[in-house]
Amino acid sequence: MLRKEEITYVEKKIEEYGMLNYHVLEGMADWVRVVDKEGTIIYANKTMKEALGDNLVGMKCYKPHGKEAPCNFCITDRSINTGEIVQKEEVIKGKYFSVKSSPVTNSDGKIIAAVEVFRDVTRERKLEFELIDKNKKMSKDLGFAKRIQEKILPSKETLDNIRIDYIYKPSEMLSGDIFDVFHIDDENIGIYISDVSGHGVAAAMMTMFIRQTMRSIKDDILSPSTALAELYRRFSTLNLEVDKYFTIFYGVFNKKTYEFVFANAGHNCIPLKYNKDGMEMLEIKGYPIALLFNEMVYNEKSIQLKKGDKILFYTDGITEAKDKEGKEFGIESVIDMINNHKENILSEIEDKISTFSWGEQQDDFALVLMEIVE
């Protein structure tokens, strides 16, 4: 309750300014106070007094906040001088408050004071700060994961009689595209490209599974079709949700016979084999690695390669890139670029995608070029 002298003071002001009865504000959970043109508190509700003391009325508005001078940006002064409703945030005794100041007018419409409502937003701010801290840590962790993901990519080098080059661009910090090249034995080299559904952390973790499993399988299984069937079997034991799946095209090159044997698990970006004489799509059907059946059987084909042959592997971030009208880049554009730019094809496609695409990159993409050399 107000002391007698306070009641007298406030009622005098109410009578002078024609303000509404202050009693309707006493039951509010938020702090409420009225500040006059001189910056003096002429009313504070019960909740505010319980928190800051009974002697608020008659104080300068900045005193209860522990300040010795007016705020640099005084929302009360702004409301009184402009008639605006102004809001800012204040820290009072370690708590965060959202403060809204509104002008108060008398019966003649003249602004004679401002009413301030203090809402405690400490919980929200602390949650916000915790979220910011966690996001910083997550960004740091993602940066580390990105470096690891890039480090496990194969080297751009010549392995015996094949040369490998590639371009790898995630749409986010982490990618769902993965490819690898490795020696299987003294005669054979394995190469695959894979595209995991989705983006970000979950997709990136799946690429780790693919890489680890394929490198484990290669030591025991030479046949690409059998290797993909085993990859399917091991994936099914993970018991993931049905929306988790990936595609993969896997081939084995014999460096003595130049035979290239390949199988496809749903990878719809058909690799393109080309040389100065023409082009061929390495097309073969097969289901994606997904929770479709208990087991899967894949087919395989083989082709004979020779010096100068190149095979371009890619993911759908290339073919499904869209321009501002929603038109996709498409396989036809990739074929046209190979026909017109047989040299530096990777950088040529990357530059073309960059100018073709509208807005930010929407999907991960990878381009891998395998060339038969001496």
Cα 222–217–298 angle (5° rounding)? Answer: 65
Provide DSSP, 35-63: EETTSBEEEE-HHHHHHH-TT-TTSBTTG
The predicted pLDDT at position 361 comes to 56
Q: Which amino acid is at 177?
A: D
Q: Count Cβ atoms within 10 A of the Cβ of residue 31 and give its class: 0-12 exposed, 13-18 middle, 19 or more buried.
A: buried
d(CA 166, CA 338) in angstroms, rounded, equals: 15
Measured distance CA(131)–CA(128) in Å, rounded: 5
Range 4-120 classified under CATH 3.30.450.20: yes
Q: How far apart are CA 362 and CA 350, in angstroms?
A: 14
Distance CA 305, CA 323 (A): 36
**Rounded-to-integer distance, Cα 55 and Cα 50, Å:** 10
At position 53, the amino acid (one-letter code) is: G
- What string of pLDDT tens digits covers the 374 residues of the chain? 334 454 455 555 554 544 445 566 777 889 999 999 889 999 889 999 998 988 898 899 988 888 888 888 889 989 999 999 999 998 888 889 999 999 988 878 899 899 999 999 999 999 988 888 887 877 777 676 777 777 777 888 888 899 999 998 876 666 778 899 999 999 999 999 999 987 777 888 888 899 999 999 998 999 999 999 999 999 999 988 888 899 999 999 999 999 999 999 999 999 999 998 899 999 999 999 998 888 899 999 999 999 999 999 999 888 888 888 889 999 999 999 898 876 789 989 888 888 888 866 556 788 999 999 97
87, 98 contact by CB (below 8 A): yes
Q: Which two tokens stand for residue 340?
A: 């017109």
DSSP 196-225: ESS-HHHHHHHHHHHHHHHHHHTTT---HH
| CATH no. for 152-372 | 3.60.40.10
Structure tokens at 227: 């290797």
pLDDT at 235: 94
- Exposure on the CB side of residue 89, measured as CA atoms within 13 A: 9
Task: Give the Cα separation of 374 and 372 in Å (integer).
Answer: 7
Domain positions in the chain: 4-120, 152-372
